[in-house]
Amino acid sequence: MPIQDDLSLIEIRVLGVLSEKQKTVPDTYPLSLNALVAGCNQKTSRDPVMDISEAEAAGAIDSLRHHSLIVETSGGRVARYGHNIERSLQIPSQSVAILTVLMLRGPQTAGELRLNCERMHRFADISAVEAFLHELRDRAEKPLVEELPRQPGARENRWTHTLSAELLAAYRQPGAQDRVTTVEARHGDITELRLELDSLKAEVAELRLLVNDLLAQQ
């Protein structure tokens, strides 16, 4: 089933993490919700670094099910989740590796992709990476990658996935890859506000307890 709608940043991160962990930590795959959130919030090999809550990850899982991109493993006390990218998008494992790295690390050159895909698939050379990129770009269905305009002073073009129209539009802007995009910054602002709100709620709860203690002493 092709992806008809754009995916959110959180959905892209969740899907990328499931695909990555299948190859890098197969003994713990499929992932529990807790492990999935930890993978989403890693500080390394992630661009942008995110702070996703369990509720946000669970919401992304429900949405991705509608695209047949995620499957839940039944049995056991804890629900576990796996991806279904190959079957749903009808692409080979090599292409899944490339798409996964783009989802997790942002735009990259073919050379960077070859290096960063190493733990999921070892490409013989850069031309092999480029061949799969061209297949993903030239699909009869919705293209899954796009080659971005070369930046001033750059020797090679970068590639990005096309799973988010808003994110893609931001990356197409001159110099977009050298700074945090508006879309990414927006998510960071929302996360920061959510943390501040949680802190304020905790302070209000403490004040209420203090007031109740004072009233009880009168």
- In DSSP terms, which residues pair with 196 in a beta bridge? none
- Total-model pTM: 0.79
For position 121, what pLDDT does the model report?
97
For position 193, what pLDDT does the model report?
60
Number of H helices, E strands in the chain: 9, 5
The single-letter code of the amino acid at 156 is: E
Q: What is the pLDDT of residues 66-89, one digit of tens each?
A: 999 999 987 678 999 999 999 999
- In the structure, what pLDDT confidence band is assigned to residue 138 with cuts at 50, 70 and 90? very high
Give the β-pairing of 145-147 and 70-73: unpaired
Q: What is the mean pLDDT of residues 115-132?
A: 97
Distance separating alpha carbons of residues 81 and 63, to the nearest angstrom: 13
Q: What is the pLDDT of residues 139-197, one digit of tens each?
A: 988 899 999 988 888 889 999 999 998 888 888 886 655 543 444 455 555 555 655 66
- In the structure, what pLDDT confidence band is assigned to residue 104 with cuts at 50, 70 and 90? very high
